[in-house]
Amino acid sequence: MRIKRILSLYVAAMVFLSSLFFCVSSAGAASGASFTPRLTEPAKTNKYYFDADYNLFYKYGYGMPNCTAYAYGRAYEILGTRPDLCPYNAGEWWTYNIANGFYDYGQTPKLGAIACWDNYDSNYGHVAVVEKVSGKNVTFSESAYNSTMFFTETISTDDSHMGYPGYRFLGYIYIGDFSNSSSGGQAEEPTRKMATQLWKITSDNGVNFRSNAGTSYQSLGVIPYGTNIKIIETKTSGGYTWGKTTYRSQTGWCVLDYASKLGVMGDLNQNGKVEISDVILFQNYIAKKATLTATQMLLADVTGDGNCATTDTVMIQKYIGGYLANL
160-178: pLDDT as tens digits: 999 998 899 999 999 999 8
The domains found in the chain, sorted by start residue, are 9-174 (3.90.1720.10), 197-262 (2.30.30.40), 265-320 (1.10.1330.10)
CB atoms within 10 A of CB 222: 16
Band (pLDDT 50/70/90 cuts) for residue 191 is: very low
Per-residue model confidence (pLDDT) at position 181: 65
Of 177, 146, 165, 184, nearest to 39 by C-alpha is 184
Bigger pLDDT: 273 vs 212 = 212
pTM summary value: 0.53
Residue 261 reports pLDDT greater than 90: yes
Distance in angstroms (rounded) separating the CA atoms of residues 25 and 128: 21
Task: Report which DSSP code applies to 61.
Answer: T
Q: pLDDT band at 205, cuts 50/70/90?
A: very high
pLDDT bucket at 179, cuts 50 / 70 / 90: confident
Q: What is the pLDDT of residues 92-134, one digit of tens each?
A: 999 999 999 999 999 999 999 999 999 998 888 999 999 999 9
User: Measured between alpha carbons, how far is residue 200 from residues 154, 221, 241 in Å?
Assistant: 30, 17, 14
Q: Which residues pair with 301 in a beta bridge?
A: none
